[in-house]
Amino acid sequence: MPPTFLIAGNLNREYILPSSGTPLLDSPGGSLLYAAGGLAVWDSDAALVARVGEDYPRHWLRDFEARGFDVSGIRILHELQNADARSFTAFTESNELTHTNAVLHFARRQLTFPKSLLGYQPPDESNKNPREPDPVSPAARDVPKQFWDVRYVHLCPFDFSSQSQMVSLFRGGSGHTVSLDPASSYMSPPFWRDLRLVLQGVSVFQPSEEELRKLFWGETNDLWEMARRVSEYGPQIVVIKRGQLGQMVYDVPGNHRYEIPAYPSRVADPTGVGDAFCGGFLAGFQKTHDPLQSALYGSVSASLKIEGSGPFYELDVLPGLADARLHVLKEMAREI
């Protein structure tokens, strides 16, 4: 039997300096793992699809397996190297994100600069063509054939070409639910025509507010109108992630509009919170097939992730905490 879920995304070797707490230096990360962590708050029966280099630590893969994930869809490619997968993030005291000079941030905190980060340069997104496949992004051909019938699929942000191929692979399946978290690089008016074609195979579209506003720049400021226009091309559910403002959910078949506030968590490390939400949402949708309930599951996953560092922080919290927060959020959500 295939696993219940499939998540495709990028894997990183992360270096994170949170605003407080212990830094993470050369730890497993990337959108794929943060989405998997959010899902695993509720269910870990998932296949992971990604690409890594030969120098990616094998004991990390074994750890993913030990947590219940199927890693047979993670391809090891000799042409990918460690430098392709490194990611550095630092947060200010107000938890604002910055990717500037890594050496300077370590010096300011009187921390020894890790040798494994020597030569690191932040990726220059301005020179990337979103229509060109990124060598580090998973492709449709990376998905093992035994996973083609997985019914609940989430695509994390990566290049447009590779995401499009993934949507095409799963869109024809009977009863498939395909969730898409778009990459910021292509959420702009020139891409709208291309994106509309891809959305025909998407069940759940989950952009951030900033990304959606970029897509409709100069046309409308009404987020609900943006969600309605997106829904005309296929998605049955449109979720707008708004960070500390929570989420807006447009249930297309029922013509319902919901607002879910963010759970009042202690903010320690916002890395991957949006991905954790998407993973939790997919788990909730498999359980309930209800857009509002699904968003509540996702919001709980996000609320747990933000309180610590690393993609699996939320899996080590007190038993019963996720269910308790789910109960609280049910009372806070509202239909408008």
Structural domains in the chain plus CATH codes: 5-124+134-335 (3.40.1190.20)
| Rounded CA separation 292/253 (Å) | 13
What pLDDT, on the 0 to 100 scale, is given for residue 131?
Answer: 82
List CB contacts of 200: < 8 A, sequence separation 6 or more. Answer: 171, 233, 234
C-alpha distances in Å from residue 280, one per residue of 43, 47, 168, 223, 263: 9, 15, 24, 23, 14
Q: 208: which strand partners? A: 241
pLDDT band at 224 (very low <50, low <70, confident <90, very high): very high
| Rounded CA separation 296/314 (Å) | 16
Residue with tokens 């900033």: 210
Half-sphere exposure at residue 233, Cβ-oriented, CA atoms within 13 angstroms: 16
- Amino acid at position 314, single letter: E
Helix (H/G/I), strand (E/B), else coil: 294 = helix
Residue with tokens 């899902």: 39
Residue 100 has pLDDT above 70, yes or no: no
Q: How far is CA 130 from the centre of its chain?
A: 18
What is the rounded radius of gyration, in angstroms, for the C-alpha atoms of the chain? 19
DSSP label at 208? Answer: B
| Rounded CA separation 24/115 (Å) | 14
Residue 82 has pLDDT above 70, yes or no: no
| Structure confidence by residue, pLDDT tens digits, 25-66 | 999 999 999 999 999 999 999 999 999 998 899 999 999 999
List CB contacts of 174: < 8 A, sequence separation 6 or more. Answer: none
| Structure confidence by residue, pLDDT tens digits, 288-305 | 999 999 999 999 999 999
- Return the percentage of the chain with pLDDT > 70, whole number: 95
Residue 95 has pLDDT above 80, yes or no: no
- Return the percentage of the chain with pLDDT > 90, whole number: 80
What pLDDT, on the 0 to 100 scale, is given for residue 173?
Answer: 64
Other C-beta atoms closer than 10 Å to the C-beta of 221 total: 10
| Rounded CA separation 148/6 (Å) | 9
Mean pLDDT of 16-26: 88
- For residues 96 and 304, the model is more confident at 304
pLDDT band at 260 (very low <50, low <70, confident <90, very high): very high
Q: Cα dihedral angle (88, 21, 8, 151), rounded to 10 degrees? A: -170
Cβ 47 vs Cβ 2: under 8 Å? yes
| Structure confidence by residue, pLDDT tens digits, 126-180 | 677 778 899 999 999 999 999 999 999 999 999 999 999 999 999 866 688 999 9
**DSSP class per residue in 45-62:** -EEEEEEEETTS-HHHHH
Cβ 277 vs Cβ 318: under 8 Å? no
List CB contacts of 307: < 8 A, sequence separation 6 or more. Answer: 265, 266, 267, 268, 313, 314, 317
Q: What is the pTM of this model?
A: 0.95
Average model confidence (pLDDT) across the chain: 93
